[in-house]
A and B are shown apart, each in its own frame.
Chain A
Amino acid sequence: MQRLNIVITGHVDHGKSTLIGRLLADTDSLPQGKLESVKKMCENNARPFEYAFLLDALADEQKQGITIDSARVFFQSKKREYIIIDAPGHIEFLKNMISGASRAEAALLLIDAKEGVAENSKRHGMLLSLLGIKQVAIVVNKMDLVNFSEIAFNKLKIEYSEYLATLGIKSDIFIPISAREGVNLIEHSASTPWYKGATVLEILDSFKSVEEKENDDFRMPLQDVYKFTRDNDDRRIYAGTVTSGELNVGDEVVFYPSLKRSKVASIESFNTEVKTSVKESEAIGFTLETQIYVRNGDVVARADQSAPRVSNRFEANLFWLGAKPLELDKPYKIKIGSAQSTIYLEEIKRVIDGDTLDRADEPSVGRHEAACVIFRVHDLLAMELFAENQKLGRFVIVDEFDIAGGGIITEVLEQYTTRRTKAINVNNVLVDKASTSAEFEEELFALLRKHFPHQFH
């Protein structure tokens, strides 16, 4: 059965966990006895039953009535299987919300009909657009608290649509619901006779599974090179996950930014028939006709297709989750595709807060802020624009040991020139290497792989 990942976001207390709990209960997706046991637990603790308790599994969550970390909830409609990601709405757990939302292909954004658009309603809208989630439906919850008023609903719809438009998100899907009372979740309700649109379940089923087809040219970030000697295995296998396109035995491949090239000799796999071709999203491995030394993190492309962009400077939209602010000229680590390098913030073009009020001339980007910035990388990297290739156009920034921010590349800028980049001339040929040094490098590499298989990237 086909599967779709959905995230449910929105401000704290706007009813995300309640919506999911109620959906599970009304579609008979709960294991036997679960509803009864949670009801009994509420009774024993002398407090009213809430559907959210079906979701908030951690002891602290139940005690405080708040979702702390995003949960993966499995659920099935007649059409397909879902993983619903229940993302926390509390600002303190924004990193958990983003962790959950980054796995999603579509989103429901909840707004409390009575409280109206809250700061996090806006922030979450902005983050969904930065994460590249294009399918968003706005669910207006707690309609029972505004007497199921069409006027209140329309007012909120206009206000939030205007905000989304400033982010470049066009969503005309707004659903009035009451999660607690089950209004418009599975079936249309007599409480909202004026609402003719789809129910929440119908909206979920209408979302499309994201098959990225922006760039059909072959791309594979090189994750590792394997040479296992056990059982006299003499294959040197170039391994990674195909982010787009197709690769066939016999194709000439180019590694970027090193520009080394060779032909695919074989496609390797275990417990399958012999493969001669592999496609997007497959975790693959291939051998080459000539033994070349390349680094993890290089991007593999086909010689007969377009090349990825190569640079050490780019402009990006970024959100920051680190406890310490993102600062100019401080070394951070960037992870993009399977590459890692040192990166410096060169310029903050503007800082955007939840209400899209620009805050210019700031020396740093603070926690929970988004910004448009320019980065300079220590090494040349292969990259893409997010708009053209999502997977190679997004990156994370590591501060000390944690992922502290994430972003998408909006423009690849001219290289900051160093001696290193001069080794590559305009014809895309590496000019600084003699064949003897290539052989030496090859032998050295073999020795290092053999004795320090993990240390050597």
Chain B
Amino acid sequence: MDHLDRLEAQSIYILREAYRSFPNLAMLWSIGKDSTVLLWLTRKAFFGHVPYPLVHIDTAFKIPEMIRYRDEIAIQWDLNLVVGQNKEALAKGETFVNGLDRLSCCKKLKSDALKYTLDGTWARRKWNPYKKIWEDELNGAPYTGVIVGVRADEEGSRSKERVFSARDEKSEWDASTQPPELWNQYKTDFAPGTHVRIHPLLEWTELNIWEYIERENIPIINLYFNQGNGKRYRSLGCFPCTAPVDSVATTPKEIIEELTSGKFKDIAERSGRAQDKDGGGTLEALRKEGYM
């Protein structure tokens, strides 16, 4: 087995543990490369099926291609897609583009939307793959287990995550009191009211993700490749806060080249993300309150 086979096998094992442990399981799909790899690993783990819903938090500021790609893949792969949004904040114009600071905008449009979509407080928009229509789901049951594509190499607080990571009733994460996790025995017993983040990609690096995309020929969104103007996205997010990088890479193979010996060899992946830079430890602060 090579290193990608090992990472793949480990992630599949984790996905299967999650599936057998949580009656109300969902996976977050941000449309980005990591969670799309996670979706592909799900199809591997369950032999072509995706047996849990995929939750996408639409901030209304996603790059439009992302939404088009999302809906195309949902139809093609027969996905049970659930979309959540902070409609109230958007209606009131409480957003970064209307003058709110970046972190407060992230909290409203991402963290809060995520929290209230997962716990069923806010209506969820669901794609019905049988009828091929969108339906509103009111008073949905809370998702008690949520699969998330974070990687330890992305950022300091993520490097300390557990594979099965409990959040309390308020969705908060306390990094100093994480329970033990031994070998491949994960925490799968929880007090009522707990919800759990499951992280099957913790040990993958950005490079591993691209190597795997290339090997498996995963249809990744083309915003990651040169858009014809010498620019591509290295990390996807909301357009007011995420900038493309200068790059002419048009294939996963060329991106791997950039990451191993080329221009991005020692440049952090999230360097194009403005919200990480507003002072020290901010992503940790966001994550404590439920951000991914």
Contacts and interface: CB of A to CB of B under 8 A. Distances in A.
Interface string B256-285: 000000000011100100000000110011
Nearest to B181: A99
Interface string B1-43: 1010110111011001101101101000000000000001001
A395 B280 CA distance: 40
A281 B20 contact: no
A69 B191 contact: no
Most chain-A CB neighbours within 10 Å: which of B48, B216, B285? Answer: B48
B114 to A, nearest CB: 22
A41 B279 CA distance: 10
Given A98-B182, A335-B185, 7 more contacts: A32-B268, A68-B176, A71-B160, A96-B180, A223-B17, A241-B9, A403-B180
Given A268-B47, A271-B44, A454-B23, A281 B6 contact: yes
B121 interface: no
B203 A83 contact: yes
Contact of B159 (A34, A73, A233, A279): A73
B9 A69 contact: no
B283 to A, nearest CB: 10
Contacts of B281: 58-59, 62
B100 to A, nearest CB: 24
Contacts of B175: 58, 60, 68-69
B46 interface: yes
Interface in A270-310: 270-271, 279, 281-283, 285, 296
A172 interface: no
A318 to B, nearest CB: 12
A233 to B, nearest CB: 7
8 contacts: A68-B160, A68-B175, A98-B180, A99-B180, A102-B183, A226-B46, A228-B49, A271-B43
A3 interface: yes
A374 interface: no
Interface of A: 1-3, 28, 30-34, 41, 57-60, 62, 68-74, 81, 83, 93, 95-96, 98-99, 102-103, 223-224, 226, 228, 230-231, 233, 235, 237, 239, 241, 268-271, 279, 281-283, 285, 296, 321, 333, 335, 391, 394-396, 398, 400-404, 406, 453-455, 457
Contacts of A404: 180
A59 B285 CA distance: 9
A70 B152 CA distance: 11
Contacts of A34: 268
Q: Which 7 A-B pairs have the closest CB atoms?
A: A57-B156, A283-B12, A31-B268, A72-B152, A95-B180, A454-B23, A71-B159
B179 interface: yes
Interface in B143-188: 152-153, 155-157, 159-160, 162, 175-176, 178-185, 187
Contact of B216 (A33, A228, A271): A271
B202 interface: yes
A2 B266 contact: no
Nearest to A398: B189
Given A223-B13, A224-B19, A454-B23, A270 B44 contact: yes
A372 to B, nearest CB: 19
Contact of B20 (A69, A73, A223): A223
Given A59-B281, A102-B183, A321-B180, A235 B47 contact: yes
Most chain-A CB neighbours within 10 Å: which of B19, B152, B184, B191? Answer: B184
B78 A230 contact: yes
A69 B179 contact: no
Contacts of B184: 391
A403 B164 CA distance: 12
A223 B81 CA distance: 26
A402 B160 contact: no
Contact of B47 (A98, A237, A395, A406): A237
A239 B16 contact: yes
A231 to B, nearest CB: 7
Contacts of A269: 44, 47
B16 A224 contact: yes
Given A59-B284, A99-B181, A454-B22, A226 B13 contact: no
B160 A241 contact: no
B51 interface: yes
B20 A402 contact: no
Nearest to A399: B189
Given A226-B47, A282-B1, A283-B12, A95 B157 contact: no
Nearest to A406: B182
A31 B178 contact: no
A70 B179 CA distance: 12
B256 to A, nearest CB: 12
Contact of A402 (B43, B47, B48, B189): B189
Contacts of A402: 179-180, 187, 189
Contacts of B3: 1-3, 81
B139 interface: no
A211 to B, nearest CB: 9
Contacts of B12: 241, 283
B20 A401 contact: no
B47 A403 contact: no
Contacts of A268: 47
Nearest to A404: B180
A241 B13 contact: yes
A57 B157 contact: yes
B49 A31 contact: no
Most chain-B CB neighbours within 10 Å: which of A81, A268, A402, A404? Answer: A402
Contacts of B104: none
B162 A99 contact: yes
Contacts of B20: 223-224, 296, 454, 457
A72 B162 CA distance: 11
A321 B176 CA distance: 15
B259 to A, nearest CB: 12
Nearest to B179: A402
Nearest to A29: B266
A402 B162 CA distance: 13
B271 to A, nearest CB: 8
A28 B159 contact: no
B286 interface: no
Contacts of A30: 266
